[in-house]
Amino acid sequence: MKDFPSIEEVHHLLDAIAEEIPKDFYKELNGGILLLPESKEHPQSRSSDKLYIMGEYQRSHSTGRTIKIYYGSFKRAYKEISKSRLYQKLKDTLLHEFTHHLESLAGEKGLEIKDAHMLNRYKERYSKD
């Protein structure tokens, strides 16, 4: 693909993915799924090896439970990606965030632990710098 899809095109892809997800998964996801235009770097990202946040699950007393997908992060991380591969990356990210949501409802933290382990592996690559 020459040009990365517009945010509108990515929104359509995300809508198609969201329609495939069982309705029960949306229980208490009162903030819905948001596609945000910006990119978001992890606070511990290295300038030489950017660590972008593709999506995040948030719980808040004021806004409730929300899944955020960062269009800009996808655009920066996957500049030359095919549309079918982008679809799969979006789907993987959305399912990852839904797993956080479902674990939150069940009082589980398995994926949070796995994410922390992955972050530690990223940081260990630079621990000798």
pLDDT digits over 101-129, tens only? 999 999 999 999 999 999 999 988 887 65
Say how far apart CA 58 and CA 97 lie, in whole Å: 9
Q: Amino acid identity of 119?
A: L
Classify residue 2: in a domain, yes or no. no
CATH number for position 71: 3.30.2010.20
Please count the structural domains in the chain. 1
pTM of the model: 0.93
Give the pLDDT of residue 129.
55
Q: What tokens appear for 21 in the block? A: 């997800």
Residue 47: pLDDT over 80:
yes
CA distance 45 to 54: 13
Q: What's the rounded Cα separation, in Å, for the pair 42 and 56? A: 11
| pLDDT recorded at residue 126 | 80
Residue 129: inside a domain: no
High-pLDDT (> 90) share of the chain, %: 89
Phi, psi (degrees; rounded to nearest 5) at 21: -85, 135
Domain interval for residue 45: 7-124
Q: Which residue in 91, 115, 111, 114 sits closest to 101, CA to CA? A: 111
